[in-house]
Amino acid sequence: MGVVVLLPSILAAEAGGRSRLELEAATVDEALRALPVADLLFDEHGRLRPLVNVYVDGRDIRDGVGSDTPLAPGATIRVVQAVAGG
């Protein structure tokens, strides 16, 4: 199923300069793990890093959507780096 992943600039630079990727994935988790920056999103034990936020069509996956939820065709997954500091 075709979905779109949008990356922030620092991850886009590590993904060969691409901030928008189209790929086939059934779930958010599957989509994120297929990215060339998966090692930056997940720690060495496969856990999504706590300061990486992920939204599916505008909804935070930690706020009910869940990483295992099936994606609708054409869904947009937006990765956002949490803001820290002053």
Which residue stretch of 21-29, 35-43, 54-62, 69-77 sits at the interface with other proteins (rule: CB under 8 A)?
35-43
To other proteins, the closest distance from the beta carbon of 11 in angstroms equals: 7
Strands, E assignment, 1-86: 2-6, 20-24, 52-56, 59-60, 76-81
DSSP at 47: P
Question: Quick one: which of 11, 25, 56, 77 contacts other proteins (CB under 8 A)?
Answer: 11
> Could you give the CA distance from residue 14 to residue 69 in angstroms, rounded to a whole number?
27
Give me the residues that bind other proteins (CB under 8 A), please: 10-11, 14, 37, 39-41, 43-45, 47, 49, 51-52, 81-82, 84
